[in-house]
Amino acid sequence: MGPTDASASVAAVSGSPRTREDVVTAASKLFASRGFHGTSMRDLGDELGMLGSSLYSHVRGKNELLVEVIARGTRFFNGVVAEAEAAGGSAKDRLRRLVSGHVQVVVGHIDESRTFLFESRFLPAADRGRIIEMRDDYEAAYRQAIRDGIDEGSFTADIDPATTAIFILSILNALIRWYRPSGDRDADAIGAEMWAFIENGVVRSER
């Protein structure tokens, strides 16, 4: 066992010092795969080629790392809403942009997305409120797009915007469970399949 040990991570054999960013990235990877409570500071140190105790020169504690990883996730998802709203166009276009943007975030930042969705409940009480609020806002963007779509006549009036938003986000959030980078479909293809289902369901009697 030593610096050339084959089981060591790539980071462990590279000589350059780690940054706070590196630590957060490694944390997002381990929190995503083993869970927050299933990851020890020593595990995290191993991943970075250092001791668990050395991490405390980069971060104040384990909880801070969880907050940081999840904050990253929220920034990505908030960015999608901002872009979709800035793009203008019809409510239908906006909803389609929300969907494809969400897929792109998950595909591009799978570890942060997984941690955000699976580990937020372990956030320190002081930070949990902020995250829940953000998630509510995110859902509200979907509700609004659906409401506007009904007003514009492109969506049927006999759906409930709140419930429909939950269903659409259910499909989107589940992507963190089944997405595999080795799969044959890219983000655009996945987004298109989701959109077809969201628009028409399984019956698709006509368009």
Partner DNA sequence: CCTACCGATCGGTAGG
Residues that bind its own copies (CB under 8 A): 35, 37-38, 118, 121-122, 146, 149, 154-156, 158-160, 163-164, 166-167, 169-171, 173-174, 178, 193-194, 196-207
Using the minimum distance from each CB to DNA, give the nearer residue, 54 or 144. 54
Backbone angles phi, psi at 136, to 5 degrees: -65, -45
**Residue 51 interacts with DNA (CB under 7 A)?**
yes
Separation of alpha carbons 107 and 176, rounded Å: 8
**Residue 72 interacts with DNA (CB under 7 A)?**
no
Shortest approach of its own copies to residue 30 CB, angstroms? 13
Using the minimum distance from each CB to its own copies, give the nearer residue, 22 or 148. 148
Shortest approach of DNA to residue 40 CB, angstroms? 3
**Residue 124 interacts with DNA (CB under 7 A)?**
no
* 115 neighbors 124 (Cβ within 8 angstroms): no
Select the span of 46-54, 93-101, 133-141, 154-162 touching DNA (CB under 7 A).
Answer: 46-54
* Residue 199 DSSP class: H
The length of the chain in residues reads: 207
Q: Which residues contact 187 (CB under 8 A, 6 or more apart)?
A: 100, 103, 104, 107, 108
**Residue 57 interacts with DNA (CB under 7 A)?**
yes
Binding-site size, DNA (CB under 7 A):
22
Using the minimum distance from each CB to DNA, give the nearer residue, 31 or 195. 31
DSSP alpha helices (H): ranges in 38-179? 41-48, 62-86, 91-108, 110-119, 125-152, 161-173, 175-178
- 55-59 long-range contacts, CB within 8 A, separation 24+: 55/23, 58/18, 58/19, 58/20, 58/23, 59/20, 59/23, 59/24
Interface residue with DNA among 40, 90, 163, 200 (CB under 7 A) is 40
Using the minimum distance from each CB to its own copies, give the nearer residue, 50 or 131. 131
**Residue 154 interacts with DNA (CB under 7 A)?**
no
Q: Which does 200 bind (CB under 5 to 8 A by kind): DNA, its own copies, none?
A: its own copies
Shortest approach of its own copies to residue 87 CB, angstroms? 19
Q: ∠ CA 180-123-23 to the nearest 5 degrees? A: 60
Using the minimum distance from each CB to DNA, give the nearer residue, 60 or 180. 60
